[in-house]
Every structure is written in structure tokens, then in C-alpha cells.
Amino acid sequence: MTLRASIQKLFAAAFSLWLPVIAAAEGCGASATAVSGVQGEGAHSPLAGQSVTVEGVITMDARHKDGFRGFYLQQADDETDNNPKTSEALFVYTGRSAGSQGQRVRVSGRVKEFHGLTELTDVDTLLVCGPGHMPEPVSVRLPWPDGQSPEHFENMLVTISGNLTVIDHYNLARYGELTLAATDQIIPTEIMDPGPPAQALFHSQQRNRVLLDDGKGERDPRPVPWPAGTLSADNTIRAGDRVNQLSGILDFRFDAWRIQPLSPPVFQIANPRPDAPPRPESAMLRIVTLNLGNLFNGDGRGGGFPAPRGAKSARQFEQQLSRLVTAMKAPDPDIIAVTELENDGYGRHSAIVDLTNALGEHWRYVEADNKAGSDAIRTDLLYRSDRVTPQGGAHRLSSAPFSHRGRPPVAQVFRLANEDRALRIIVPHLKSKACRGAKGPDRDQNDGQGCYSHSREEATRAILHWIESLPQYGNLAGTLITGDMNSYARETPLRLMAEAGYINAVRQFQNCDQTACNQTSYRYRGRSGTLDYSLISEGLARRLVGATAWSINADEPRALGYKGPVPVAADQPWRSSDHNPVITDFAL
């Protein structure tokens, strides 16, 4: 090789080493597409499918393990278009590792709408341009102004003004999510009649929510990310608690707006765990009503697990049973009305025998006839034999519509020990709102009542007609219908009960309207409402001295349940079921 050729080769090699630096220097700061132009003013990018080059600051890097495989890019504050209808940020989906939070980068890729999220993908260039200036968070507030989607803040750094309320924690341990809103949300048909206005309220509630996420795409995160510290039996988050100082990226994933926080928010206890309600001094009879959350005991001999419903092991069953008994005994009842108990007869290995034995020596169960229906679960009554006495036999409604389906309600008259005055108790459990198998009039009518509203209406009419045929006693003070109606307070079954003269006992003591609804029994997808009732005949109204729903279950995370990943002592009542017990007191 000649000297000249050697010099040319060395020069070429040196030039090739400097070429990427020169290219990067020339690229950064050159003409680029504005991020706001990529986002556009609508829900979808006007440039979807096109290749663009953008520049901005990395506000959050989600390329870590179990992250979202990308980062959030936002225009610097002095580069915005000052158009309040456009977002200034994008999600960049890439496995390239260059850049970190706070750095300015230049990215080339293809614009894509991924399930409603505007992002840049197929990235072929990612250049680090040096340190950047983090944008100032934009202040936002719920409910969203004019009820409109916050599309114009998508992927931007925001801070939430004021407090938000925890309304749902169903996915807390599963996906690290909490659902937040400005205030608690009430099931629309708890406070208004079924129909278009109730549906409109439902959709308004759904729009005005945001999820607190954990910045990860993994399932079953451990430790559970919220609250600060570790979720435990004594360090919980209850629905109704508040969150403030919430700042992060306003993200959109899985059909929900969510905050990916840059720093831990502050949690405030606003719904503390209540003690068991004390018995009023004048109360002569206390009834506790509880949906047991599918209490199944396997084969009743320590085996037979996993059960068809409920516990998956003998250990889980023991935990479930112990916590249910703690919850039921704490209010010191005389009678317990239960739903979702295994329908396996009354033999010595049955679930009701295990439950009765766990309650203690004075407890007995009402043995109704064998017409308990073909459903896997049934309703039942238990009582303290040293305080009350059954009068006459128990009855079940086994004719239509309970002859081939449903859960036949049970009825029994009780009188206080050493007293003549008696009370009839009827325990129903109507068809749920789940739509599986729904046909014809049982399909969802889009009025807020869900599926099987027609079946619940038929069942209610049958129960009211059946009551008239039951044996009458001269010492009967009245009738209490108590159980799981699977209907909210303004739905058809409760309207029929009211028309027949039955009064919602809890609502005689606790108000419920659109601003506040105290003492509900259930929470479903972030809304609270009542499914479990004590409905009293008119003759009992003057003998009613107290009624409440004890908030021990519905507001607690399911992660604390007996199947959950968080260990809980067996003598605690919290999240012993997914329904709150209803407690009713009478002075007979």
C-alpha cells in the first residue's frame, strides 16, 4: 500500500468515527413536526400511519423491567402551540435505550393509534440532544370540565388539584390500580328511578374517573404498590379514603384515563373502620343479615376441595368461616339471616352445621324442608336458643317462579324467650344482574337495572303473594323481609315492596341522595349501593329502634379477603365477605 493510500484510509476511518456525532449535532434542533400537530384536536391523530420526526423532553421513562416498553415525550414549555385543544406529549414505543428522564431527544418513527393512545412506534432514529427542561405540570381537576374527555392532556405531565376519593380497589393487588373520582359515586338506581336519566348519570360517572396506576405492565405486583408501605390487615385503603398531591403523566390505557405518578401521592383516611354498632338500650331483638360470599365446606370432612364455589382448600375454608363468625357475632345478634350458603342439606357434614358449631353452644339452625331448589346456594336462618324460640315450622316458597330455578326463600316465626310477642322473618335471595344466559325480557333493558330484572320482578310478586298464604298467629307483631334482593333501592322489586307496605328500615335512620348515601351494603365497579335489606311491615314500624349497614366488607380491598394475597388474622371481620351485614333492632 502506498503512503498516499495509507493516509487516505486513516482519514476515512477517522471521519467515520466522527460522522454520528456530526449527524446528531446537525439533527437536533433541525426542523421537526410539532408534537401537538401529531396529536391534533380530535381523539385520533390526523397523522396516523405517517412517519414523522419530533423533538422533546423525556418526562417519564417506562423502559424498565415490567414497564410499558417506551417513554413519554413532551414539548418544552417554550415550544407549545398555545392551543388548548391539543396535547403537547406523545408516548414513544421503543426498545432503544438512549435517553433518560429530563433529557431532550429527537425521535423518528410512525404515528399509531393503539387502543385510543396516540403513540410513536417503529422508531428508526433516537438521538440524545442533551439536557432538557422538564415542562411544568398542567393543573387539572375532576370532574373534567363540561364532562369532556381530557384528550387535550393525553400523555402530558399534570398535577391533580384538590383531593380525590378512592372509589374502587378491585384491581389493587392484581394490576396495582386504584380508581379515583372527585367524590364517591352512587349506583344511579339507588337514588333515581330506572330509565334514561339514570343511564345518563351512569355515563357521566364513568367519564369523570381516573386510575392511579403503578407505572408497570405486570400482573400481581409485589409488594402491592398502594398505600405507602405495604398493604396489610392494619394498613389498608378503604373506599372513601382520599388522595392528594397527585402528580404524573396523564396516560390512557385499557379504555381508562390513568395517572402514572412521578412521586408517591399522599393518602388520607376519610372512611375509618367502624366498630360494631352497639345495641340500643331499648332493643329486645337484634337480627344480623349477611351474604356469606359462598360458604362451601367441601365434603364436610376436611376434604372435597376445591369446592364448587368459595374456598379452594381446607385452609381457606377455615379462614373464611372464622372471619365470618367474627363478623356475625361482634354485633351480638339473636337471629342471623344468611344467603349464599352451600345448598347441601342439613346433615352432620353440611355447611350449615359447620357454621352453627362455629358460632357456639347456644346457636341452632332452622331446618326448613328439603325444597331448597336446585341452585348451588340457599338462604337460611340461625338463632340463639337461649334468647329466641321458633314458633311453628319453617316454610319455603317452592312454587313458580321458584319451582325450577332460583333460590326458594325461607320463612320462620320467632318469639322472644319468656315473651309472647312474635316476629316472622323471610329471607330472599333474588337472581343476580349477571347476564349469562339472559333471554327475552331478562336481557338488559338499558334502564339501569341490568339483566334479569324481569325475573326479579316476578320473584318479588310471588313472595308478596306467598306471604298472604302463610299461617297467621295472633301474637304476630309483623313481618321482616331481610336478605339479598340483588336490586338497588329505586328498582322494581323495592318499588313493589314499598307499594305492599314494606318499609326500608335502614333508610329510616340513614339518608341517601346524590350528594351522600350512607350505609350501603355493596360496591360494584366503583359505585356504592344497597343490595341487602331489612324491609318491615307497617305494623313493625313503631317497634323498630335501629337499623344500619355495618361497613366492614364492601369498602375493603378484596386483596384482604380469605383468598387474597395479604395474610389476615382469622379473628378479624374485615373483608370477611363482599357484602356488608345489615343489622336491625326491634323493641317487641
Which pLDDT tens digit goes with each residue over 561-582?
Answer: 999 999 999 999 999 999 999 9
pLDDT band at 67 (very low <50, low <70, confident <90, very high): very high
pLDDT band at 255 (very low <50, low <70, confident <90, very high): very high
CATH number at residue 225: 2.40.50
C-beta of residue 578 within 8 angstroms of C-beta of residue 558? yes
- CA-wise closest residue to 412 among 481, 496, 345, 494: 481
- The residue out of 268, 294, 311 marking a domain boundary is 268
Asked if the structure places residue 520 within a domain, the reply is: yes
- CA-wise closest residue to 297 among 366, 363, 368, 349: 349
- What is the pLDDT at residue 369? 75
pLDDT band at 6 (very low <50, low <70, confident <90, very high): very low
Residues 189 and 290 in one domain: no
Asked if the structure places residue 236 within a domain, the reply is: yes
Asked if the structure places residue 368 within a domain, the reply is: yes
Residues 367 and 504 in one domain: yes
Which residue reads 344497597 in cell numbers?
530
Residues 382 and 497 in one domain: yes
Count the domains in the chain. 3
Predicted confidence (pLDDT) at residue 31 exceeds the cutoff of 50: yes
pLDDT (tens digit per residue) in 169-216: 999 999 999 999 999 999 999 999 999 999 999 999 999 999 999 999
Asked if the structure places residue 12 within a domain, the reply is: no
C-beta of residue 13 within 8 angstroms of C-beta of residue 55? no
Predicted confidence (pLDDT) at residue 404 exceeds the cutoff of 90: no
Which residue reads 405531565 in cell numbers?
157
Residues 248 and 294 in one domain: no
C-beta of residue 45 within 8 angstroms of C-beta of residue 38? yes
Residues 318 and 426 in one domain: yes
Instruction: Please state the rounded mean pLDDT for residues 339-345.
Output: 97
Asked if the structure places residue 116 within a domain, the reply is: yes
Residues 435 and 577 in one domain: yes
Predicted confidence (pLDDT) at residue 16 exceeds the cutoff of 80: no
The whole domain housing 165 covers 138-268
pLDDT (tens digit per residue) in 218-251: 899 988 999 987 899 999 999 999 999 999 999 9
Report strand pairing: 410-416 vs 522-524: unpaired
Instruction: Please state the rounded mean pLDDT for residues 281-285.
Output: 95
Which residue reads 332452622 in cell numbers?
366
Residues 447 and 423 in one domain: yes
Residues 533 and 423 in one domain: yes
Residues 470 and 549 in one domain: yes
Asked if the structure places residue 21 within a domain, the reply is: no
pLDDT band at 403 (very low <50, low <70, confident <90, very high): confident
Asked if the structure places residue 24 within a domain, the reply is: no
CATH number at residue 474: 3.60.10.10
- What's this model's pTM, rounded to 2 decimal places? 0.91
Predicted confidence (pLDDT) at residue 301 exceeds the cutoff of 60: yes
C-beta of residue 102 within 8 angstroms of C-beta of residue 128? no
Q: Which three cell numbers stand for residue 231?
A: 398493604
Residues 67 and 87 in one domain: yes
Order across the sheet with 532-536: list the strands.
Answer: 388-396, 410-416, 422-427, 476-484, 532-536, 503-504
What angle do helix axes 453-469 and 492-499 make, rounded to 10 degrees? 20
- What is the pLDDT at residue 413? 97
Residues 264 and 351 in one domain: no
Report strand pairing: 377-384 vs 363-365: antiparallel
- The residue out of 268, 293, 321 marking a domain boundary is 268
Instruction: Please state the rounded mean pLDDT for residues 397-413.
Output: 91
Asked if the structure places residue 20 within a domain, the reply is: no
Residues 127 and 143 in one domain: no
* Pick from 2-16, 424-438, 520-534: least confident: 2-16
What angle do helix axes 351-359 and 314-329 make, rounded to 10 degrees? 50
Averaged pLDDT of the chain: 93
- Alpha-helical runs (H) found in 67-192: 172-175, 188-191
